[in-house]
């Protein structure tokens, strides 16, 4: 177990260090996410958006588009110099490599969300601060599912020349249940209904996160072989 | 140390390896020789556990080679065409990452030693992105040797090295072999075979067709034998008519 965690930590540390040095992924993700929010701001400037029915959808559109950019970048560094091959030569449980990359992607997307929330709040005049705790929770749960399934599918698509198109094409349909649930709960929270109102949706996201964590841990090795 | 029996590997298309047999004992360095497409790189990748053969067996120390076993992976060091290095990390950080994956004890000392062995101790903190091709190749070798493997697989290891780099690589491989390690390397440059290899193997169309102790090929013997086995095709002149057989293929 200790060696497993050491491998997870090594992959995570390496990914974060590479990102800290280059800041390529976080810059492009944050820029894209904010750009989407700014465009929504212009589009809705005349009217106040409805927190219950509109705000959640707008936020998660920004998160999901920028998240895909992060996934691409995460595997671009592994393709450069065939580093993924280097990982395969190591005497480690390959599911630990998956977990390390999932956590790295998760933290990166969360960081972008943390920047996006306040800008969204200002430009679209939606009050976020009073709901910070529940919003952070649903953002984390939805993003975890995105990072899990995204990391898994980015492994599949990274070998393709059409990976930029292929990844969103296969990722979004599979991630749709979490997207719908996250949008619903975010809307409920922003409308002041509280987390309890979205109990079933949260359970769905939790179940999805657990299922895809298991699927990823089991399949990552086979996907790398292919 | 290494026994290969009847290895067959095909990607999309005809097999690249068609029943390849090979032995490599401890303290021995075997040079794989053959033209492009002979199957040298594929053979090395199979032995590194990066791909699975369709048929045949790989035995490591008399046991069936299983890439999923950590013990087996630890026995092998691999230098491929690609560097397997992160350009955004320094030389030392790259080796630290590998050391943590291999759970090496006293990793810092071992990293210092590996950098010294390949003559890169003075640029350990520099990012790999700033390295020349030859320096990257040296670091790739340090990466492969870091966990002290028993079997070293090298695919065109001289690529990008200057004469001094080639000389130090030769010395390093000879020392590795003399200390009981086994080396299997592919190369196109026959001038580098003699100082390193104890035996040569000629690979043609995915099969070992000939080979022997390096002493059998004294003087220009190795070069002559190579050209005998793989005669150079004359280059067709621009605008020359295509042969009917070529046109139909």
pTM given for the model: 0.88
Query: What pLDDT sits at residue A144?
Result: 96
pLDDT greater than 80 at residue B234: no
Helix H or strand E segment including B170: helix B163-178
Across the interface, of B74, B82, B97, the residue whose CB is closest to A91 is B74
Chain-centre distance for alpha carbon B6: 20
B-facing residues of A in 7-26 (CB < 8 A) are: 7, 9-10, 14, 17-18, 21-22
Q: Cβ A83–B143 below 8 Å, yes or no?
A: no
Encode pLDDT of B75-121 as tens digits: 999 998 888 999 999 999 999 999 999 999 999 999 999 999 888 98
Dihedral sign (CA A163, B91, B164, B43): negative
Q: Cβ A89–B48 below 8 Å, yes or no?
A: yes
* Domain residue ranges of chain A, discontinuous segments joined by +: 2-225
Measured between CA atoms, how close is B133 to chain A, in angstroms? 12
pLDDT greater than 90 at residue A215: yes
- Kindly list the distances between the CA atom of residue A117 and the CA atoms of A44, A124, B241, B242, in Å, as whole numbers in the listed order: 17, 10, 69, 67
Q: Cβ B49–A225 below 8 Å, yes or no?
A: no
Closest alpha carbon within chain B to A77: B86
pLDDT greater than 70 at residue B25: yes
Q: Cβ A91–B78 below 8 Å, yes or no?
A: no
A127 close to B (CB below 8 A) = no
- Outline where DSSP puts E strands in chain B: 2-9, 17-24, 29-33, 55-60, 63-64, 76-79, 151-155, 182-186, 199-204, 207-213
A·B CB contacts under 8 A: 73
Q: Cβ B101–A85 below 8 Å, yes or no?
A: no
A76 close to B (CB below 8 A) = no
Q: Cβ A91–B48 below 8 Å, yes or no?
A: no
Q: Cβ A83–B71 below 8 Å, yes or no?
A: no
| B241 confidence band (pLDDT: 50, 70, 90) | low
Burial of B170 (0-12, 13-18, 19+ CB in 10 A): middle
Euclidean distance between CA atoms A161 and A67, whole angstroms: 20
Q: Name every chain A residue with its beta carbon within 8 A of the beta carbon of B101.
A: 7, 10, 87, 90-92
Q: List the one residue out of A172, A155, A173 whose CA is nearest residue A223.
A: A155
Q: Cβ B84–A82 below 8 Å, yes or no?
A: yes
Query: Any residues with CB less than 8 A from the CB of A64 and at least 6 apart, and which?
Result: A146, A172, A175, A179
ipTM for this prediction? 0.88
Chain-centre distance for alpha carbon B200: 13
Across the interface, of B78, B98, B100, the residue whose CB is closest to A6 is B100
Q: Which of A135-144, B137-146, B202-211 has the lowest mean pLDDT?
A: B202-211
Closest alpha carbon within chain A to B98: A90
Let me know: does B122 contact B130? Beta carbons within 8 Å: no
Q: Cβ B84–A85 below 8 Å, yes or no?
A: yes
* Domain residue ranges of chain B, discontinuous segments joined by +: 1-75+151-230, 82-148
Query: How big is chain B, counted in residues?
Result: 249
Query: What pLDDT sits at residue A53?
Result: 84
pLDDT greater than 80 at residue B236: no
Q: Name every chain B residue with its beta carbon within 8 A of the beta carbon of A7.
A: 100-101
Q: Cβ A89–B74 below 8 Å, yes or no?
A: no
CATH 3.40.50.300 fits B1-75+151-230, yes or no: yes
Q: What percent of chain B has pLDDT over 90?
A: 39
Euclidean distance between CA atoms B248 and B235, whole angstroms: 19
Select from B100, B127, B135, B143 the residue whose CB has the most chain A CBs within 10 Å, as the one to mutate to test that interface: B100
DSSP at A27: H
Using only C-alpha atoms, chain A has a radius of gyration, in whole angstroms, of 18
Locus of tokens 């292929």: A166
Let me know: does B45 contact B51? Beta carbons within 8 Å: yes
DSSP at B232: P
Query: What pLDDT sits at residue B249?
Result: 34
Encode pLDDT of A203-214 as tens digits: 999 999 999 999
Query: What pLDDT sits at residue B94?
Result: 96
Select from A86, A95, A100 the residue whose CB has the most chain B CBs within 10 Å, as the one to mutate to test that interface: A86
- Outline where DSSP puts E strands in chain A: none
Query: Any residues with CB less than 8 A from the CB of A137 and at least 6 apart, and which?
Result: A195
Closest alpha carbon within chain B to A11: B97
Which is more confidently placed, A140 or B132? Answer: A140
pLDDT greater than 50 at residue B63: yes
Across the interface, of A3, A9, A81, the residue whose CB is closest to B82 is A81
Euclidean distance between CA atoms A14 and B227, whole angstroms: 47
How much is the average pLDDT of B21-46?
90
């Amino acid at each position: 177990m200790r060696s497993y965690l050491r491998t997870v930590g090594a992959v995570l540390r390496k990914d974060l260090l590479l990102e800290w040095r280059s800041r390529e992924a976080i810059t492009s993700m944050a820029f894209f996410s904010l750009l989407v929010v700014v465009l929504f701001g212009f589009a809705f400037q005349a009217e106040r958006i409805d927190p219950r029915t509109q705000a959640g959808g707008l936020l998660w559109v920004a998160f999901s588009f920028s998240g895909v950019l992060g996934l691409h970048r995460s595997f671009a560094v592994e393709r450069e110099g065939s580093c993924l091959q280097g990982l395969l030569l190591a005497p480690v449980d390959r599911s630990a490599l998956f977990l390390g990359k999932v956590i790295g992607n998760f933290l990166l997307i969360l960081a972008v969300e943390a920047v996006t929330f306040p800008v969204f709040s200002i430009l679209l005049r939606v009050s976020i601060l009073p709901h910070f705790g529940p919003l952070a929770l649903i953002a984390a749960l939805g993003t975890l599912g995105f990072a899990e399934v995204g990391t898994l599918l980015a492994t599949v698509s990274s070998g393709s020349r059409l990976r930029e198109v292929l990844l969103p094409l296969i990722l979004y349909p599979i991630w749709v249940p979490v997207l719908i649930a996250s949008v619903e709960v975010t809307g409920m929270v922003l409308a002041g209904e509280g987390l309890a109102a979205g109990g079933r949706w949260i359970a769905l996201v939790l179940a999805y996160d657990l299922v895809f964590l298991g699927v990823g841990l089991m399949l990552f090795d086979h996907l790398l072989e292919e | 140390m290494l026994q290969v029996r009847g290895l067959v590997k095909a990607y999309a298309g005809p097999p690249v390896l068609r029943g390849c047999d090979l032995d490599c004992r401890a303290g021995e360095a075997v040079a794989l020789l053959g033209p492009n497409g002979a199957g040298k790189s594929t053979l090395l990748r199979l032995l590194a556990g990066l791909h699975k053969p369709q048929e045949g067996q790989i035995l490591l120390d008399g046991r069936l080679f299983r890439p999923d076993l950590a013990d087996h992976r630890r026995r092998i060091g691999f230098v491929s065409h690609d560097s397997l290095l992160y350009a955004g990390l320094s030389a030392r950080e790259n080796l630290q990452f590998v050391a943590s994956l291999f759970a090496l004890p006293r990793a810092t000392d071992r990293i210092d030693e590996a950098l010294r062995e390949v003559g890169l101790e003075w640029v350990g903190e520099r990012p790999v992105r700033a390295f020349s091709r030859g320096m990257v190749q040296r670091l790739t070798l340090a990466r492969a040797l870091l966990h002290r493997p028993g079997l070293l697989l090298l695919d065109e290891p001289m690529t990008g090295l200057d004469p001094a780099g080639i000389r130090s690589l030769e010395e390093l491989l000879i020392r590795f072999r003399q200390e009981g390690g086994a080396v299997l390397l592919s190369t196109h440059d026959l001038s580098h075979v003699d100082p390193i290899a104890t035996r040569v193997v000629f690979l043609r169309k995915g099969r070992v067709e000939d080979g022997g102790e390096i002493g059998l090929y004294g003087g220009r013997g190795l070069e002559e034998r190579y050209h005998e086995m793989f005669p150079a095709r004359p280059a067709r002149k621009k605008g020359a008519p295509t042969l009917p057989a070529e046109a139909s293929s």
